[in-house]
Amino acid sequence: MTTPQTWFITGSSRGFGRSLALAALQAGDSVAATARTPEQLSDLTDRFGERVLSLALDVTDPAAALRALQQTEDTFGRVDVVVNNAGYANIAPVEVASEEDFRRQFETNFWGVYNISKAALPFLRKQGGGIVIQFSSVGGRVGGTPGLGSYQAAKFGIDGLTRVLATETGPFGIRYVVVEPGGFATDWAGASMDVHGIPEEYQGTVGAFADRLRGTSQAGDPERAADILVRVAKRNDLPSHLVIGAGAAQMAIDYSTGQIEEATKWAAVSASADFGHDRVDLPDDV
């Protein structure tokens, strides 16, 4: 029988955060569930009592992040699993997207993760370890989705930051999982998303993606994903990256295969940039 864990989850009022908080509680764990409006978590408190700590939190506020983690430790004695889930996306071409909106998305999607991750480190280091689960996206691995310039830039940034954190803090027993979901039945593409004005020139790319996103039922079940993550968090051997969703898994495999093929094709040219190597011809241009 595994020891109950204490979870700290951002963005717990809906979507993945909500499903994950519920799955952890159903597994017998305790949860510090955070949201901008903690009143939306009252049903969890009513159902699970003292195993739920509902906290108001704006992840873009570093001081608030530190206070929330301190409250979690004060209440439960430790923090075993920190989940950076809070985030959102708006759709617009990079050329015409307002800089203000681009930065605002990045403030939540990247700097929010930075704030929580940094604030959590002293607590995890002091107690001799813990797990940090970073919600990215399969787009944070594959990229190239028209209209999601800010969102996917942030997700790539999360992956880069987490790789560094894993190296720096691994000796302290802190472990990381970057979660890369595909399309899931949350309100990510619903009430949480604004589609800004898309000019005619971008209707074939950004416009087509927006229409497809709004007109397609997502195959991913957030409750199934949450159950997977709760079970994964109780393992000794964690994956560094976890793709969830069948379509996302195939996208990740295809992308990684393509990367290997391209790096192999250009390997001799890459090596020829070093001192002492002969000049080589470029691969055939097809």
Any catalytic annotation for residue 234? no
Smallest Cα–Cα separation from 210: which of 137, 148, 141?
Answer: 148
- The number of helices, as runs of H, and strands, as runs of E, in the chain is 11, 7
Catalytic residue (choose from 30, 54, 150, 151): 151
Whole-angstrom distance, CA of residue 178 vs CA of residue 137: 9
Q: How is residue 132 written in tokens? A: 């940090």
Q: Name the phi and psi angles at 39, rounded to 5.
A: -60, -25
In whole angstroms, what is the distance from residue 228 CA to residue 231 CA?
A: 5
136 is catalytic: yes
Q: What number of other Cβ atoms are within 10 A of residue 168's Cβ?
A: 11
Catalytic residue, chosen from 136, 137, 176, 202, is: 136
What's the rounded Cα separation, in Å, for the pair 173 and 169? 7
CB 184 within 8 A of CB 225: yes
In one-letter notation, the amino acid at residue 254 is D
Angle at 14 between CA 11 and CA 20, to 5 degrees: 75
Q: Check 13, 19, 155, 202 and give the catalytic one.
A: 155
The residue assigned the tokens 């994964």 is: 232
The three-class DSSP label of residue 53 is strand
Q: Return the closest-CA partner of residue 187 out of 106, 116, 87.
A: 87
Asked about 272 being catalytic, the answer comes back as no
Cite the active site residues: 136, 151, 155
